[in-house]
Amino acid sequence: MTQHHPRWALPKHDYWSTPFAESLLQHLDLCPGLRMLDIACGHGIPAFYLAEQIGPAGAVLAIDISAGQVARARAIQGSQLPWLRCECMDMRDLPHDLPMFDRITGNLSVMFFRPHRFQVVQGLVKHLAPGGQLVLTFPSFGTFDSLWKRVDWMMIQQELINERERFQAYLNERPSANEAREWLERLDLERMEVSEYPLEVTTGPGREFLHHPLLRGGFLDDVYECFEDQNLAEEFMTAISEDIQHFTPLIAQRCVLTGWKRNPSSLLQNPSFILREPQDERGSH
């Protein structure tokens, strides 16, 4: 029998969005004909894959607050997958007239829920049909901790008091798997599950670290923002970049939270909850 390979498979060259999307798909219950909302869709990982899987009998609305990302997704889509619609929309303030969805997904979405993460999840669940499933992924508390410990240690050594206060505020604001569990419990979902999967990010020293595509434009920029003097920030981060042996390997935690909205006709009365211990999947990618 010939194995079917999806035309819109997850791109192998994306070493950040694709591993998180794979974790999302591991927990998502997919079948043809579903009505789906994909939030923080970016340029289409995994919106295109989802649309292909549910087929023309279903419908996918993929949204992102970035007009540039939505334009890129539309350009990639062209006239294909006409049951997939990409729109510029803020997931933190969804229109009241949006329809109900059978599945709501969001890959790498939770970090964009600030400052009121629970309220955003609550708003999403309002648009989830009874019996529908919510699945979200994000890099959880613990991601790149070896790096952050080195940054903190060097700030102490260099007596960067104000910078360290800002850095500690950033660290304390990161969402955790336990927080995700509390959100699901407060929303009274059923078949709740929160899982974490480690992902190693490899890098070399110096410029390779400072301009790493998975670190710059995101995690490393959060450190730069702790400095008012950007020349000092550059000196500090350059020293960090030459010291990678003290914080590698870099491990990210792919966190997946999922739950099902109660159906009034369901006989299930009590929520169940599973918190999986981190598993080492580094050999699988």
Same domain, 133 and 210: no
* 214 shares its domain with 113: no
- Answer whether residue 285 is part of any domain: no
* Residue 31 in tokens: 């079948």
Tell me if 15 is assigned to some domain.
yes
Task: Give the model's pLDDT for residue 15.
Answer: 87
Query: What is the predicted pLDDT for the residue at 5?
Result: 53
Classify residue 147: in a domain, yes or no: yes
**pLDDT, tens digit (0-9, with 9 covering 90-100), for 105-126:** 999 999 888 888 999 999 999 9
Q: Is the distance from CB of 272 to CB of 188 less than 8 angstroms?
A: no
For the stretch 242-271, pLDDT in tens is: 999 999 999 999 999 999 999 876 544 454
Percent of all residues in the chain with a pLDDT value above 90, rounded to a whole number? 77
Residue 101: domain span: 1-139+175-199+254-280
Domain count, the chain: 2
The answer to whether residues 114 and 166 belong to one domain is no
Asked if residue 212 and residue 73 are part of one domain, the reply reads no
Check pLDDT > 90 for residue 7: no
The angle at the Cα of 195, spanning 190 to 201, to the nearest 5 degrees, equals 155
- Pair 74, 184 in one domain: yes
**pLDDT number for residue 50:** 96
Per the domain annotation, does 10 fall within a domain? yes
Residues 183 and 54 in one domain: yes
- Are 53 and 179 found together in one domain? yes
Of 180, 172, 174, 239, nearest in space to 210 by CA = 239
Residues 112 and 209 in one domain: no
In a domain, 238, yes or no: yes
166 and 52 share a domain?
no
The CATH number of whichever domain residue 58 belongs to comes to: 3.40.50.150
User: Tokens for 74?
Assistant: 């539309």
Rounded CA gap, 111 and 113, in Å?
A: 6
Interval 22-70: pLDDT, tens: 999 999 999 999 999 999 999 899 999 999 999 999 999 999 999 999 9
- Listed in order, strand segments (DSSP E) in 77-145 are 84-88, 101-106, 128-139
Q: What's the confidence (pLDDT) of residue 276? A: 54
| Coil, helix or strand at residue 256 | strand
Q: What is the pLDDT of residue 10?
A: 87
